[in-house]
Structure formats: C-alpha cells, structure tokens
Amino acid sequence: MQLAQVNVALPQAPLDQPVMAGFVKVVDDVNWLADKSPGLVWRLPPQHGPVTFGQLGDDEVIVTLSVWTHFEALQQYVYRSGHALFMQRRSRWFVPIGGFTTAMWWIDDGVLPSVEEGLSRLAHLRLHGPTPHAFSLRRQFDPEGADLR
C-alpha cells in the first residue's frame, strides 16, 4: 500500500497577477525538491492548472496531488526540507481556508489517484472528520484502518 495525498490552496489572485509572482518564481524549485525527495512515487504534473472545489464556492484552487511510499517520507518533505520555508511564506500568496485543506488515504501499489478522487476524499474529510477513508496530518490511520492516534 502507498499513501495518497491531496492539498488545496486558494490563491489571492490568478497566477499571472503581480501578487502571485513570488509563488510562480519558487514553485518549480519546490516541485524539484519533491521530485528529489526519498519516498515520492508520483505527483500531479504542474500543467494540470487550477480547478474548482465546490466546498469553497466557485473560486479556483491550486491542487497538489501526490503518492508516497509511507507517511514519514511525506512528513520529511513537508516539514523538514526547503518546502518548510515555502510553507512559512504561504500567507503572501494564499487566502486562509477554514477546515481541512489536506487529506490522505491508502491506495494499492501502482494505482494513481485522480484529481476528482482527491477532491472527493478531501470533501469527505471536511464533512466527517478523519476516518480510514480520508484522514489528516494530525490523525492518521494505517492501511488496515486502525487509528494511529
């Protein structure tokens, strides 16, 4: 089993606007870090572009979708690599969103999640809280569904 992860972020403006220039400038570096991170199996190519997520209205969100060998690899990338510096500056480019913005779930090896599946899992998490179907960074479940809290 591998760990799928989805994250949504609501940009302050379209990516071609000056307020987003700093984000656009660093996003390739952040993606490069992900690509070089031990444990990354796959990530959604950046060409995918923004999508709408019904729970946030009609605004377009940026979606990050990735697959990891295990939770610790994802955690290492998010919190202990150069990505952590990016996270510290996210308020410059993104509007705060109430509730969960990241969801995780287990998938079979070799399976790649779709954006639609990721957004569905995130919607489930936002409606029902952490469950084996979709869980959070703070409350995780193992591949068999056992609560790791």
Report the top-level CATH class of 2-128.
alpha beta
pLDDT in tens, 72-108: 999 998 887 877 777 778 889 999 999 999 999 999 9
| pLDDT at 108 (0 to 100) | 98
Beta pairing partners, 104: 5, 135
pLDDT in tens, 44-63: 987 665 565 555 555 788 88
Q: Which residues contact 61 (CB under 8 A, 6 or more apart)?
A: 8, 9, 10, 11, 50, 51, 52, 53
pLDDT in tens, 102-138: 999 999 999 999 999 999 999 999 999 999 999 999 9
Q: Count H helices and E strands in the chain, helices first.
A: 4, 6
Whether the Cβ atoms of residue 124 and residue 131 lie closer than 8 Å to each other: yes
Question: Is 65 a residue whose pLDDT tops 60?
Answer: yes
How far is CA 132 from each of CA 30, 41, 106, rounded to the nearest angstrom? 29, 21, 8
Q: Give the amino acid at 8.
A: V
Whether the Cβ atoms of residue 130 and residue 139 lie closer than 8 Å to each other: yes
